[in-house]
Amino acid sequence: MSRRLFVNLPATVLMLLVMVGAAWLSYRQAEQAGMQELHSTGVHRLDLYAASLEREINKFALLPAALALEAQVQNLLRAPSDDQHLQAVCRHLQQLNSRAGTLSIYLMNASGRVLAASNWDAPDSFMGEQLPFRPYFRDALAQGSGRFFGIGTTRGEPGYYLASAVMEGRRALGVVVVKLSLEQLERSWATVETPVLVSDDNAVVILSSVPAWKFRALRPLDDAARQALDRNLQYNRRVVRPLGLAELGPQGQDARLVRLPQTGTAEPSVYPVAGRFLAQSRPLAGTTWTLTVLSHLEQVQDTALSRAALGLVAAAMVCMLAWVVHERRGNLTIRLAARQTLQRALDALERTVAERTADLSAANQRLQAEVADRIHAEQTLRAAQDELVQSGKLAVIGQMAAGVAHELNQPLAAVRTLSTNAARFLELGDLSTAQGNLQRIAALVDRMGHITGQLRGFARKSSGQIQAVPMAQVVDNALALLELRLRHGGTVLQRSDESPSPEALCDANRLEQVLVNLIGNALDAVAVQPQRRIHISCSSTAQRVRVSVHDSGPGLPEHVRSRLFEPFFTTKAPEQGLGLGLAISAGIVRDCGGSLSGANHALGGAVFTVDLPRAPDPEGGVKP
């Protein structure tokens, strides 16, 4: 079933679908987890901000009621024309305002006229102001107390008003008002990790950690709301513009996704003030206000994208492993089929020989004719056997795995032969010869271990660490991996290295991958040339190190040279590559701070150059 699936669908499409699916699932899971964590953090911040706001207001909550109980305040309301008594009350309010740290304290009679104020001696004093339209005044007369946030009509200062009625029996003589400034609380909010704002019953921002958001509407104001604001002068006729907050959809209980536009006049902030946010709101007890915390989704998106990338890489590794297993199973199946075919041919040969032998023993009188027939049959059988053996060789060679399997084939054959001979010498009692064979076997095993160790080191996951690397060592490691192709292809290798070898800043393991790819491409280019030569040179300047791979191939045509580093562009057959080698190599070199270029050499053939930054010496200069 698995083999049929691989046959019917292109393997690349399958792997891409699996990798995209894994990346999408990883992204969704990381996004959901990040949103849950962001939601929990936002609830905690709501608790902290609500407690800080309530604590700031409650510090002065009893001050108006306490002033309303003072005898001199009540006496002034009964006899407002007593100037000496009026000045005493004004000085008392002035001292209390200074010690309490409030914006202002003033006393109003039952008709809404200010009789005494803490700023009685200031040019912009409240004395004589008529404020019966203020909601806090009306609420205090009707309910005994009132609270209100607005902008002052005299000084234009925003503040929070606490009002308490001065009662004589059941009759209200007047109202004591304390105006608080919440700017210090706003300044403390400006240092937190996310934006926070408080909106009133009109959905107008009255407090915010972002100054540009104050007195902006979270939603459009209708005509009735605008007329009410004009009557009570809550914002002192200030034009209330929309903040531009757009809701994208709900996100659980008391939370929603919103978007804020980027404004060109925004002041610098320690946190983002535009983009997509998780908005969590909560009504404040005892007020008509709503506290809202905005948590930016940038970190959640970054984390989700990182998890998606990891999922994509993991899925790619699994797909490659499945592809390797599939190819190996296919090769084993072909080998077994070839072996069975050869065995059937050998069985048929043995039956033919047995039949010929029986015929010879039964017919002595036709000895001469039978001998001639037998000689002819043996010649025919020998030719058939040679053809079968040659076919078996071609089948095995055609299906033999490249790379490691081919490199280890000869040492394995030698180990088998030497082990058989050692057993024979042990039977004959020739211990010295047997010991020599065992020593040669051990050397071959060490050689195979060295080969697999090279490939394992080449295939291991890169650490990603940029460090000083001798270029000669990297070139040696790459050539060791391609030793078999160089030796069997009859390619002449020339090297030009500086002494001592210059050191470059790079990741050694990944740079080996680049050189293996470049040298492998050079071997492919000279494979059909009468003269097969590859020249590898290493040179350096004060700041750079360059490694060039020059081959004696046909060179790079113009249409190929302009698309060398495009992904999936290749001049090879489809089964020989996907066209990703040079694109990936260019990315590796670029990550190390260098560049990879390809061109035609003046002496013929193609030349690819890796240019990397040179490693500084331990004393801070450049290594000579």
pLDDT in tens, 148-164: 887 766 666 788 888 99
Q: Is the pLDDT of residue 197 over 70?
A: yes
Assigned domain for 32 exists: no
For 370-410, the pLDDT digits (tens) are: 667 777 765 664 454 334 333 333 333 333 344 455 556 65
| Full strand arrangement of the beta sheet holding 171-180 | 114-117, 104-109, 171-180, 158-168, 145-151
Please check whether residues 163 and 209 belong to one and the same domain. no
CA 425 – CA 437 distance, rounded (Å): 9
Last residue of a domain, one of 150, 181, 212: 181
Please check whether residues 517 and 553 belong to one and the same domain. yes
Residue 186's H or E segment, with its range, is: helix 183-189
Please check whether residues 471 and 599 belong to one and the same domain. yes
How many domains, in total, are found in the chain? 5
Q: What is the pLDDT of residue 550?
A: 93
Mode of pairing for the β-strands spanning 533-540 and 492-496 = parallel
Q: What is the pLDDT of residue 176?
A: 92
Phi-psi region of 116 (alpha: psi -120 to 50; beta: other; left: phi over 0): beta
Last residue of a domain, one of 142, 157, 181: 181
Please check whether residues 370 and 492 belong to one and the same domain. no
Name the residue type at position 108. M
Please check whether residues 447 and 473 belong to one and the same domain. no
Assigned domain for 533 exists: yes
Read off the CATH number of the domain in which 228 is found. 3.30.450.20
Other Cβ atoms less than 10 A from the Cβ of 204: the count is 23
Mean pLDDT score across all residues of the chain: 76
Q: What is the pLDDT of residue 453?
A: 56
Assigned domain for 280 exists: yes
The H helix count followed by the E strand count for the chain is: 17, 20
Q: Is the pLDDT of residue 599 over 70?
A: yes
User: Are 549 and 509 a contacting pair, CB within 8 Å?
Assistant: no
Q: Which domain holds residue 519?
A: 463-613
Q: What is the 3-state secondary structure (H, E, C) of 89-150?
A: HHHHHHHHHHHHCCCEEEEEECCCEEEEECCCCCCCCCCCCECCCCHHHHHHHHHCEEEEEE
Cis peptide before 500 (omega within 30 of 0): yes
Assigned domain for 36 exists: no
Please check whether residues 502 and 580 belong to one and the same domain. yes
CA 599 – CA 562 distance, rounded (Å): 10
The mean pLDDT value for 269-273 works out to 66
Assigned domain for 486 exists: yes
User: Are 506 and 612 a contacting pair, CB within 8 Å?
Assistant: yes
Please check whether residues 290 and 313 belong to one and the same domain. no
Please check whether residues 428 and 485 belong to one and the same domain. no
**In degrees rounded to 5, what are phi and psi of residue 16?**
-65, -40
Assigned domain for 444 exists: yes
What lies within 8 Å, CB to CB, of 258 at 6+ separation is 245, 246, 247, 248, 276, 277, 279, 294
Q: Is 422 exposed, middle or buried (0-12, 13-18, 19+ CB in 10 A)?
A: buried
Please check whether residues 133 and 227 belong to one and the same domain. no
511-528 burial, b if ≥16 CB within 10 A, otherwise e?
bbbbbbbbbbbbbbbbee
User: Are 259 and 248 a contacting pair, CB within 8 Å?
Assistant: yes
Last residue of a domain, one of 457, 474, 492: 457
For 38-47, the pLDDT digits (tens) are: 777 777 887 8
Q: Is the pLDDT of residue 612 over 80?
A: yes
Assigned domain for 619 exists: no
Read off the CATH number of the domain in which 500 is found. 3.30.565.10
3-class SS of residue 20: helix
Please check whether residues 114 and 234 belong to one and the same domain. no
Which residue blocks in 365-482 are alpha helix, DSSP H?
367-399, 404-428, 431-459, 471-481
Please check whether residues 469 and 608 belong to one and the same domain. yes
Other Cβ atoms less than 10 A from the Cβ of 185: the count is 18
Q: Is the pLDDT of residue 14 over 60?
A: yes
What lies within 8 Å, CB to CB, of 442 at 6+ separation is none
Share of the chain above pLDDT 70, in %: 75
Cα angle at 246 between 242 and 247, to 5 degrees?
Answer: 135
For 462-477, the pLDDT digits (tens) are: 566 788 889 888 888 8
237-251 burial, b if ≥16 CB within 10 A, otherwise e?
eeebeebebeeeeeb
Residue 599's H or E segment, with its range, is: strand 595-600
Assigned domain for 308 exists: yes
What lies within 8 Å, CB to CB, of 121 at 6+ separation is 90, 94
Please check whether residues 545 and 423 belong to one and the same domain. no
For 227-266, the pLDDT digits (tens) are: 666 665 666 666 677 777 777 778 777 788 888 887 655 5
Share of the chain above pLDDT 90, in %: 5
